[in-house]
Amino acid sequence: MGLLTYLTKSSSTLKPTTLLRHLRFMSNVPENTVYGGPKPQNPHQRVTLTHLKQKHKKGDPITVVTAYDYPSAVHLDTAGIDVCLVGDSASMVVHGHDTTLPISLDEMLVHCRAVARGAKRPLLVGDLPFGTYESSSNQAVDTAVRILKEGGMDAIKLEGGSPSRITAAKAIVEAGIAVMGHVGLTPQAISVLGGFRPQGKNIASAVKVVETALALQEAGCFSVVLECVPAPVAAAATSALKIPTIGIGAGPFCSGQVLVYHDLLGMMQHPHHAKVTPKFCKQYAHVGDVINKALVEYKEEVANGSFPGPAHSPYKISETEINGFMSELQKLGLDKAAASTAAAAEKIKMSVSSNGPAND
């Protein structure tokens, strides 16, 4: 009799605990390891463009945060963030460059794959890095395809609203790939903008922000990031568009907000170009201080010998096995190693007797 047949016929007579043991046997969830238990399955449904459209229609704000690796992706997943953006900002906050320009497509794909393993609920959006989509629409489509096929993303983001960028966005959409636009301060264009400077602060610039956002919508983008523009300008763009706007340094009137993971957690200062976290970013924690304190404490405990203590030396060997092991060491002429083994065993025994028995 097969296991499924057995369970079907016997479930009414099996005790609940017995049935659960059988079901556990059938489960593909990995068993616990020395490094901890298996990752629980996320019960929430995967966010899609349809979900974002529904939120936008109801006026519910959309939450977006950047992530660059598996741990940050898991954090976003656990928090219930709507959209996980694998940003080319990794060039700065992960790789330590002054700008977003140096990061390559291959490097971005490494980040995308790591994030895709950790974030099971959010919509995943990957940035097209500088130099990988400007030459032609064909180049843009090829890069976007790699971001999805090799990076595991659901959509891509590209910066700017020049005619060539609009054409590229349209070509990518026509290739069947969802596109998020990005206007205002576009970090990949800092050589033209004269640095990391806010946009839309005069009439011509403000009109350009709105017109560019509209052009990206016409090209088929599902949303547009508005970066570092005055709140009234962002409000105008949000009102003019039928698709969601995602603000970063653009005030409270956008359809949603995005922040850089490292900035909102207070993990580090921006390298070189700014000595402090951006003025538009609220720090919801000061994780960098906690990390530094923990590392200093670890260094001190290793230096003074208090780590690892009995509580963090969990793997036991019986006295009989130790004696046999020392005998084998002596046969090999390793008397010093045998003496070290004996001294370690005695020290552990004394530590256990003074601190109470440890769990095997």
Q: What are phi and psi of 130, to 5 degrees?
A: -55, 135
- DSSP class of residue 195 equals S
Q: Which helix (H) or strand (E) holds 41?
A: none
What span, in angstroms and rounded, lies between the C-alpha atoms of 40 and 42?
6
Contact 225, 243 (CB under 8 A): no
127: three-class secondary structure by DSSP: strand
Q: Given 227, 297, 301, 319, which residue is catalytic? A: 227
Nearest Cα to Cα of residue 177 among 215, 136, 149, 217: 149
The count of other CB atoms within 10 Å of the CB of residue 80 is 12
* Helices marked H in 158-223: 163-174, 190-193, 203-219
What span, in angstroms and rounded, lies between the C-alpha atoms of 206 and 276?
27
Nearest Cα to Cα of residue 88 among 104, 69, 65, 72: 104
Indicate if 321 belongs to the active site: no
Q: Catalytic amino acids? A: 227
